[in-house]
Homo-oligomer: A and B are copies of this chain.
Amino acid sequence: MGEFDLITRYFKRPATRSPLGVGDDCALLAPAAGMQLAVSSDMLVEGRHFLSTVEPARLGYKALAVNLSDLAACGAKPLAFTLALALPGVDEPWLEGFSRGLFALADAHGCELVGGDTTRGPLNICITVFGEVPAGAALLRSGARAGDDLWVSGSLGDARLALEVFRGTLSLPADAFAQARTRMEQPTPRVALGQALRGIATSAVDVSDGLIGDLGHILASSRVGATLDADATTALIAVDTTGLPAEALRTCALSGGDDYELVFTAPASACDAVLQAGVNSATRVTRIGRIEADAGLRIVDAGGAPVSQRFGSFDHFV
């Protein structure tokens, strides 16, 4: 099977929203009047972003999910994406599974594949996603203010728990592992919540490298500090962690990575509006701290005492 047959068989579908579908030199996009286009690119590499054992359908899902998560963090509505794919060879069952998982999530969000590239090479998946947001309404990292509450969506730490089980440093009962593995392989991008938070949240970021590291981007961009409740955060681990050491659980929840939840800030007066945005988007939201004028991040336990444990943030080059 040649390159163009491969594209036609697995990735070409009739264009709906875009003026032009897959197959010309460029795709054409026309955001509606008054809308800005939000754009994000993520590249996934085997052994770093996914394990070689992952089911192709779950990988196709995840490759798009991590990009949709960036749109969610901006409050943008997904529109379209391009897919560039380097493949070691033509593996039809793999392509069938990958494209099935990819399109299942794309269809759930009305996000259309409009173009891309395929080449032979070490497995590499690069998606660029496009969303639209009313001009000036995008959620940024730079809007947090002292006194704002600090919130996070959904659950935290489960993906890292699954990874540690794969690495053999922790063990979980089969049910809990299966649940954690699904969180690692099929994270839920918080697309509806992100849009519901427009006009309410003062800043937002998605948690890909770990809560502490990604929160750090908000603190740096907004030139503020924060106090974070470690116990409230660790309580957001979804799977049953009975018997696991408290320190490991804090590491997973606070700096685990691969969560694809939204961490965001909002004025204390907007608390009810945040809770309503959570209800409207069927997404749990939890208050885990407060923004303060003093620079730096202070991590405390439920009683307010400082937590001395040290945490890292995922960095591809450290």
Contact = CB atoms under 8 A, between A and B. Distances in A.
A2 B121 contact: no
A141 B39 contact: no
Given A25-B74, A206-B25, A316-B3, A121 B39 contact: no
Contacts of A318: 2-3
Interface in A14-45: 19-20, 23-31, 33, 36-45
Nearest to A72: B25
A45 B121 CA distance: 6
Contacts of A24: 74, 140-142, 221
A223 to B, nearest CB: 14
Contacts of A316: 3, 118-120
A41 B115 contact: yes
Nearest to A84: B43
Contact of A140 (B20, B83, B204, B205): B20
A175 interface: no
Contact of A26 (B25, B31, B76, B89): B76
Interface in A41-78: 41-49, 70-71, 73-74, 76
Contacts of A43: 84-86, 117, 119, 121, 124, 126
B25 A84 contact: no
Give how many copies assemble into the complex. 2
A190 B110 CA distance: 35
Nearest to A140: B24
B40 A36 contact: no
B71 A41 contact: no
Interface in A167-211: 204-206
B38 A26 contact: yes
A306 interface: no
A41 B120 contact: no
A209 to B, nearest CB: 9
28 contacts: A3-B316, A20-B138, A20-B140, A24-B141, A25-B40, A25-B74, A25-B141, A26-B39, A26-B73, A26-B76, A26-B138, A28-B36, A29-B37, A29-B39, A33-B33, A37-B37, A40-B115, A42-B84, A48-B121, A49-B119, A84-B126, A84-B128, A90-B317, A118-B317, A120-B317, A122-B124, A124-B126, A126-B126
Interface of A: 1-4, 6, 19-20, 23-31, 33, 36-49, 70-71, 73-74, 76, 82-87, 89-90, 114-122, 124, 126, 128, 130-131, 133, 135, 138, 140-142, 204-206, 221, 315-318
- Across chains A and B, which 7 residue pairs bring their CB atoms closest together, nearest first? A45-B121, A126-B126, A26-B38, A43-B84, A25-B73, A122-B122, A128-B128
